[in-house]
Amino acid sequence: MSTPIIHPTEKMAPEQCKMFREVIERMYSTHLDKNQDYSKYNILATGFHGVVTRIWDKTARLMSLAGFNIGTGEYTGEKSAKNESIEDTLIDLANYAVIALILRRNKWGK
């Protein structure tokens, strides 16, 4: 049995790499839970443009929660969320980016 090769980044930043894996697992779990609630046509009906719109919606929400006024560019300070935290928004944003890739590769819903 051979010893697994450890990437230099894993040696240099082990906590970062561990957290990266944990975030990806959370993304996947969120994807599975949300995908169970919708049919594949939730994405296929509007296609790539629909996913890009969802990415924009999440980006606008993130900017608002982070304290930026999209209209003026003014920074007013981070806001607390009532329904969806910055972390939840970032997970959704990352998932929509992955969905866009899967969709562009014609594998969504297959």
Instruction: Indicate whether 46 pLDDT > 90.
Output: yes
Residue 28 inside a domain? The answer is: yes
* Domain extent at residue 23: 12-104
Instruction: Indicate whether 99 pLDDT > 80.
Output: yes
> Which of 81 and 5 is assigned the larger pLDDT?
5
Average per-residue pLDDT for the chain:
94
Cβ atoms 88, 58 nearer than 8 A: no
Please give the structure tokens belonging to residue 25: 């697992």
Identity of the residue numbered 55: I
Q: For 51-61, write each residue's pLDDT tens digit.
A: 999 999 999 99
Q: For 21-41, write each residue's pLDDT tens digit.
A: 999 999 999 999 999 999 899
The reported pTM is 0.88
Please give the structure tokens belonging to residue 55: 């990415």
The count of domains in the chain is 1
Please give the structure tokens belonging to residue 97: 């980016």
Residue 4 inside a domain? The answer is: no
Per-residue model confidence (pLDDT) at position 82: 85
Helices (H) and strands (E) in the chain, counts: 5, 0
CA distance 79 to 70: 14
Residue 66 inside a domain? The answer is: yes
CA distance 38 to 43: 9
Residue 82 inside a domain? The answer is: yes
